[in-house]
Amino acid sequence: MDQNSLIYFDYAATTPVRREAAAALLDALAHFGNPSSRYGFGREAARRVKEDREAVATAFGCSPDELFFTSCGTEGDNWAIRRGAELNRRRGKHIVTTAIEHAAVLETCRDLERQGYEVTCLKPGRSGRVTAEQLAAALRPDTALVSMMLVNNETGAVLPVADCVRAVKAFDPAILFHCDAVQGFLKTPEPLARLGADLVAVSGHKIGAPKGVGALYIKKGVRLPPLLTGGGQEEGLRSGTEATAQIAAFAAAVRAVAADETRLERTASIKDYTLSRLKQALPRLEVISQGDAPHICAVTLPGYKSEVVVRVLGDRGVCVSSGSACHKGRPSHVFAAMNLPKSWLDGALRLSFSPDSTKEEADVLVSALRDAAGSLFTTLS
């Protein structure tokens, strides 16, 4: 199917590469020097990476020397959690996280459990959020690290990370706080450094950069050991020749998104429009989460199988998700942790938006979903 005719409502899974990012990528590919080389051509590549780091750091609200390029959000999460736990191992082997984290966090915590760590998973309420009080009650003298996401990738719930950082630091400033902000970068009004977390991971492909680039913020003074050792790039903290073209594209996407000052309002407004049209057109539809973040919401069609609905919509060129793109058909651990009835779990759909999603596209989605629900209902009954 022609990509240009797709009706795409799966921006939380990934985003199209922005024009500015693609242009920067091509330009950087032409300047193929290695930033570690001493001659002018190499120094030019290093100068470009420096400028790109400054651009991403500005959007983060941090200093460029607190920002380290990675290959993806998953790498940032692994680096922060594995090495953060190691850094604080003298405190103990207790980690606190939430039951609604992305697999990049949960599977990393599970791996540490196999290595003798104890992991407490906070359960969300029906809202899909956890509270600072819940977190404070889970802290222990042997807690080494807390890992909490900013925006849930399936419900769009925004977790009270800044409050939680305050609760943790009031309990003991030595406990490290990591935040997976992969779905929050440039999607919430406050720059991420203001959360107060020690470590924050983000990913390029959620904001119009190509896949294969991300960043980890490491607050000044936090002596996080490297995950990758080698040639000493990124101040010795993330070895591996800098992915100059991906980094250039990431920075170009960040500059372009940050300059679009009405993006959050436009995204929220098209989400609200879509939800109200869906409720009118499909009386059986239930809203699981309106999403606090502007770009994600979750709905369900009880009695339907979301996998089937997603496939039928896909055949009509309409892209939505039955949950996180990483689930591969398994029921969502996020919706399960929210204690939703089974029929709601089975019929759950995630819709995610960009500031440039249009009402016309939303109308196509609504009529395609109404048709799909109608035809599947007839088949089932």
Detail the DSSP E strand segments found in the chain. 7-8, 67-70, 94-98, 118-122, 143-149, 176-180, 199-203, 214-218, 286-289, 296-300, 318-319, 348-352
Q: Report which residue's Cβ sits closest to ligand PLP.
A: 73
> How far, in Å, CA of 289 to CA of 334, rounded?
12
Of residues 90 through 129, those in contact with ligand PLP by CB under 6 A are: 102, 104
Q: Which is nearer to ligand PLP, 13 or 139 (CB)?
A: 13
Q: Which is nearer to ligand PLP, 71 or 233 (CB)?
A: 71
- For residue 300, what are the β-bridge partners? 286, 348
Asked if 214 touches ligand PLP (CB under 6 A), the answer is yes
The site for ligand PLP, by CB under 6 A, has a size of 14
Asked if 296 touches ligand PLP (CB under 6 A), the answer is no
> How far, in Å, CA of 33 to CA of 26, rounded?
14
Q: Is 121 a catalytic residue?
A: no
* Chain center to CA of 234: 23
Q: Which is nearer to ligand PLP, 45 or 154 (CB)?
A: 154
Helix, strand, coil percent content, the chain, rounded in steps of 5:
45, 15, 40
In this structure, are residues 33 and 44 in contact, taking their beta carbons and an 8 Å threshold? yes
Asked if 183 touches ligand PLP (CB under 6 A), the answer is yes
Asked if 10 touches ligand PLP (CB under 6 A), the answer is no
Q: From the CB of 158, what's the least distance to ligand PLP, in Å?
A: 12
Q: Please, how many CA atoms are within 13 Å of residue 87, restricted to the half-sphere of its CB?
A: 21
Q: Which residue from 111, 107, 137 is spatially nearest to 122, judged by alpha carbons? A: 137
Draw the binding track, 53-72, toward ligand PLP (x: CB under 6 A; -: no contact): -------------------x
> How far, in Å, CA of 29 to CA of 142, rounded?
48
Q: Which is nearer to ligand PLP, 28 or 149 (CB)?
A: 149
Asked if 306 touches ligand PLP (CB under 6 A), the answer is no
Q: Which is nearer to ligand PLP, 139 or 337 (CB)?
A: 337
In this structure, are residues 183 and 153 in contact, taking their beta carbons and an 8 Å threshold? yes
Collapsing DSSP to helix, strand or coil, 73 comes out as helix
Say which amino acid occupies 348.
A
Draw the binding track, 147-176, toward ligand PLP (x: CB under 6 A; -: no contact): --x---x-----------------------
Q: Which is nearer to ligand PLP, 55 or 213 (CB)?
A: 213
Asked if 188 touches ligand PLP (CB under 6 A), the answer is no
Which position among 48, 52, 56, 74 is part of the footprint of ligand PLP (CB under 6 A)?
74
Q: Which residues bind ligand PLP (CB under 6 A)?
A: 72-74, 77, 102, 104, 149, 153, 180, 182-183, 203, 205, 214
Active-site annotation, residues: 326
